[in-house]
Structure 1
Amino acid sequence: MNNRETFRLLVIGFISLTIVIGIGRFLFTPILPYMEIGTSQSFSALGMLATWNYIGYFIGAFAARTIQPSGTSIIILLVTNGLMTVLMGLMDNYFMWVLFRLLSGISSGFIFVFATNLVLGRLVQLNQTQYSGYLYSGVGFGILLSGGFTPFITNSVNWSFTWLFFGLISLLLTVIVAFMMNVVPRDKTETTFTAQVPSKYHSKKKKIALYLSYLLEGFGYIIYATFITGLLANNNVSFEPSYIWAIVGLGAIPSCIVWSWLGKKISASKALKYAYFIQILAVFIPVLSQHLLLIVLSAFLFGGTFLGIITLTMNISKQFKDSKNLVSGLTAIYALGQIIGPSVASLFIEFIHFQFSFLLAGFALVLSFIIVAASFTSNAPFHSKFNRD
C-alpha cells in the first residue's frame, strides 16, 4: 500500500470518527440544556440517555473483538449511526430515545475499534505513529461543529431540528466515506486489519495498569464531557454555555497531532503522564470558578488532552502482543467507565450539587495519573527498538 492509500485511510478514519463520536455521541452535550428546557424530562433522566449511549458503545467495542470488518459493514454502521441521530429529532418519546442512543452507541463502538485497528495498525507498520493524531482529530472536528452550530440552530428553530440537521450531515459524510472505501483496495485494507507488529511491552502488570487507568479516564472525562454545559447553565453564567463545547473542539483538533508528535519524541508513556496532569487541572477549574476566561481555559485544556490520552493509550496498546484484541478490550473498558460516570454523576447532581460530580471526576483522573506514572517508567522513545520495559 502506498502513501496515497495510507492518506485515504486516514481520511476515512477521520470522517468516520467525526460521524460516530464527534456528532453521534457528543452532539448530546451542547444540546442537553435545550432539551431540559424544551421537554418534560428531568436533567437526571436526560443524563441517563448518555448512559444508554455508553452501554451501546461498550457492547459494540466488545463485540468488535470477534468480527472481521469489511467496507460494507463499516458503511452500514455509519448509516445506522446517522439515522439514529436523525430519529432523535423526529421522535418525541423517551423510551424511543433510549433505543436510538443505545443503537448509536453500538455503531460507535464498532467503528472506533475498526478505525483504530485499520489506520493505527497501518501507521505502526510504517513507523509513522506521529500521524495517528490526524485520525482522532476527527472527533475534535465533530465537537467543533456541534458546539459551534448547536446554539445558533437551536435558538433559530428548536432542539429537534438540531438533531435532524446533524443527522443529515452525518449521512452526507457517510457518502464520502463510501466513495473513498471503494478507492482503497479491499485485499490491502484487510491485510492492514490483520497485520502483526513487533511487541515492545510484555508485562501483564503493564497491561492491567493500562486497563485500570483507561477505565478511570473513561469515568472521569465523561462526567466533564456530558455535564459541563449543564453545570454552567445551572449556575446562570452570563455567556451561552453550549459555545463552551466548541472551545473543547478547538482544543481537540490539533491536540491529537501534538500529542502524537510528543509521544514519538519523548515516548508515548511519558507524554501520557503530561496529558493526564493537564486534564486534571482542566476538570478542577469549573469547581473553583465559573469565570468566563477560566472556563474557556478549562474547556481548551480539556479538549487538548482527552483525545490526546486516547491517541497515546492506543499507541501504547499497539506495542503489546495481540494488540488487536487489546484495542477492543481497552475501548470496552473505557466505555464501561463512561457507563458508570454519568450514572453516578446524575445522582450527585440530583441529590447534592453539580460541583461534587466534577470533584469525583477529578479524583478518578488523579488515580489514573498515579497508575500510569507508577507503571510506565521507561524513557525510551516510542519509535525506538522494540525492547522490553
Structure 2
Amino acid sequence: MLEEEGDMGTKSAFNWITLWASLLFVVILGFSRLSYGMFLPGIQRVIGGSYGQLGLLGTVNFIGYLVGTLCLPPLIARYPARKPILNGITCLLLGLTLIGSAASDHVIQLGLWRFAIGWLSAFATVLVLSIALDAVRPAERGAASGLIWLGGSAGILATGLFAPLTIDPSHLQGWRYAWVIMGVFGVLAAFGFAFVTRTKGDEIIPSRIESKPSDNESEPVHRLLWSPKKLLFLVSSYFFFGSGYIIYFTYLIPYLVSKGIPSLYAGLIWSGIGFAGLFNGWIGGKAIDRWPSGYTLASGLTLGTIGVCGVTTNNMFLTVLGAALIGLVSFITPPLMTTALLRRHVPPRAYAACLSLATAVFAAGQMLGPLVGGLVVERYGLQSGVASSAIFMAIAAALAGLFGHRQRKLVER
C-alpha cells in the first residue's frame, strides 16, 4: 500500500500526495532554481557577460521569490479554500516559464524570466508543502517533509546528467534543450499533483474544518516569528542558510570548469550532491521527528560548513568529498527541518502564513548571497567566492543552536 489512512482522514508520510509533491519539488527547487548554476558556463558562452554579472541574475530570481512570498499570505487569507486551484495554476505556469526561459537571447531577457520563475516558485513552495502536510499525520510530518524536499535532490541529480549537453563547448544550445525538457516535466507534475489532491481532497478538508483553534490561534504571526523567545533564532538561521547555500550552488560548477574538470566529471559531482541529498531527505525527516530540536538542525549546518571548506584546500578530492557531505547533511536538511519545526510551533491556521513569511526571509538571504558571492568572485576569484558561503553557513549553525538552547530552557521550565 502506498498510503495508509490515519486518524481523522490523515495519512502516513508515504502516500500519493507526498509522492507527487516530491515530483513537483524536482521542478520547484532542482530545475527552476538550482539548474541555473549548473548551466551557467553554457549560458555564458551564448549570452555573454562575466560570471559576476550572470551570478547577479540569481539575485533577480530571488527578488521574484521574495515578492512571491510577500504576495501569497493576503491571497491565502482571502481565499483559504482556493489553495489547490491557486497551486495548480502556479505550478503549470512555472513549467511554462522554464520553457520560455530557454528562448532567452540576452541578459535582460533571461533576467525577466528568472524573476518570473522566482515569483512562481515561491508560491509553489509554500502551497505544495501546506497542501501535502495537511494530509499527513502530525507525528509523521517531518518524514513527509523529507520525502517532499528530497525531490529537490532528485532534481539536482537529474540536472547533473545533462552536463555533457550543457557544459561541453561543442553543444552551445544544450542548456536550452535541457530547460525545455525540465519545463515539460514540470507541466506533467503539476497535472499529477492537481489530480491526487482533487480526488483526495474530500478526505482531508473536513478534518481541518472540524478542528477547533487553540487559545493562541489568533496570536499575530509577527509575534511568533520575530520574538527571541519563540522563532526568531530559527528564522534567522534560515536567512543565513539561504545566503550560504545559494553562493555554493551558483559558483561551484563554474569553479570546477575553471580548474579544467571535464564536463562529464563536473556533472557527476553535481549529480553526486543530489544523490547524497536523496538520503538526506529521508534521514533528516526521520531525525527531526525523533529529535525536534534546533540542535538537530545545527548539527547538519555545522557539517555543511566543514564541507564548504573543502574548496579552500586546492585538493580536488577534498572538494568533491565536501560537496558530497553538503548533499548528505546540509542541503535538504535545513529547509525540511525548518518546515517541520514551524509546523510544530505555530497554530495550524497560521502555518501557511508563517511558512510564507519564513520563506520570504529565506528569499532575502538568497538575494544577499549572489550579491556578496558575485563581489567576492569579481575581486578574489571563483575559489574565494565559493568558500565565502562557509561564513554564512557557520552563522546559520550558531543561530540554530541558539534556537535549540531556547527550546531546552522552555522544556526545563
Q: Same fold (TM over 0.5)?
A: yes
SS at structure 2 position matched to 1:70: helix
Write the distance in 2 (CA, Å) between the matches of 1:369 and 1:375.
10
Give the match for residue 11 of structure 1.
19
Q: 2:189 aligns with which of 164, 173, 186?
A: 173
The CA deviation string for residues 202-250 of structure 1, in whole angstroms up to 9 with x for no partner, is 7921411112111111111110011110111122235632332211110
In the TM superposition, residue 48 of structure 1 has moved relative to its aligned partner by: 1.7
Give the gaps of 5 or more residues in structure 1. Answer: 381-385
**Structure 2 CA distance for partners of 1:123 and 1:369, relative to 1, 3 Å:** same
Give the match for residue 310 of structure 1.
335
Give the match for residue 28 of structure 1.
36
Alignment of 1:1-389 (within 5 A): 1-3=9-11, 7-68=15-76, 69-123=82-136, 125-152=138-165, 155=168, 158-185=174-201, 188-189=204-205, 204-205=227-228, 206-237=230-261, 240-291=265-316, 293-304=317-328, 305-321=330-346, 322-377=350-405
**Structure 2 CA distance for partners of 1:5 and 1:139, relative to 1, 3 Å:** closer
8 Å CA contact 2:20, 2:189 repeated in 1: no
In the TM superposition, residue 360 of structure 1 has moved relative to its aligned partner by: 2.5
**Structure 2 CA distance for partners of 1:168 and 1:35, relative to 1, 3 Å:** same
Runs (4 or more) in structure 1 with deviation over 4 Å come to: 153-157, 189-199, 386-389
**Structure 2 CA distance for partners of 1:126 and 1:271, relative to 1, 3 Å:** closer
The CA deviation string for residues 66-90 of structure 1, in whole angstroms up to 9 with x for no partner, is 2224322212111211111111222
8 Å CA contact 1:143, 1:246 repeated in 2: yes
8 Å CA contact 1:5, 1:184 repeated in 2: no
Write the distance in 2 (CA, Å) between the matches of 1:356 and 1:179.
46
Write the distance in 2 (CA, Å) between the matches of 1:316 and 1:197.
18
Aligned residues: 383
Write the distance in 2 (CA, Å) between the matches of 1:160 and 1:376.
44
Write the distance in 2 (CA, Å) between the matches of 1:298 and 1:167.
31
Write the distance in 2 (CA, Å) between the matches of 1:37 and 1:332.
33
Write the distance in 1 (CA, Å) between the matches of 2:13 and 2:198.
11
In the TM superposition, residue 44 of structure 1 has moved relative to its aligned partner by: 1.9
Amino acid at match of 2:294: S
8 Å CA contact 1:31, 1:159 repeated in 2: yes
8 Å CA contact 1:267, 1:379 repeated in 2: no
Write the distance in 2 (CA, Å) between the matches of 1:256 and 1:110.
21
Across the aligned residues of Structure 1 and Structure 2, the Cα RMSD in angstroms comes to 2.9
Q: Which moved more, 1:235-244 or 1:17-26?
A: 235-244
In the TM superposition, residue 378 of structure 1 has moved relative to its aligned partner by: 6.8
In the TM superposition, residue 182 of structure 1 has moved relative to its aligned partner by: 2.8
Give the match for residue 6 of structure 2.
none
The CA deviation string for residues 329-354 of structure 1, in whole angstroms up to 9 with x for no partner, is 11110110101101111111112222
Amino acid at match of 1:97: L
Write the distance in 1 (CA, Å) between the matches of 2:19 and 2:205.
14
Give the gaps of 5 or more residues in structure 2. Answer: 1-8, 77-81, 217-222
- TM-score normalised by structure 2 residue count: 0.84
**Structure 2 CA distance for partners of 1:197 and 1:261, relative to 1, 3 Å:** farther
> Equivalent pairs: percent with the same residue?
20
**Structure 2 CA distance for partners of 1:364 and 1:154, relative to 1, 3 Å:** closer
- TM-score normalised by structure 1 residue count: 0.89
In the TM superposition, residue 2 of structure 1 has moved relative to its aligned partner by: 4.7
Q: Which moved more, 1:90-99 or 1:234-243?
A: 234-243
8 Å CA contact 2:144, 2:285 repeated in 1: yes
Write the distance in 2 (CA, Å) between the matches of 1:318 and 1:309.
14
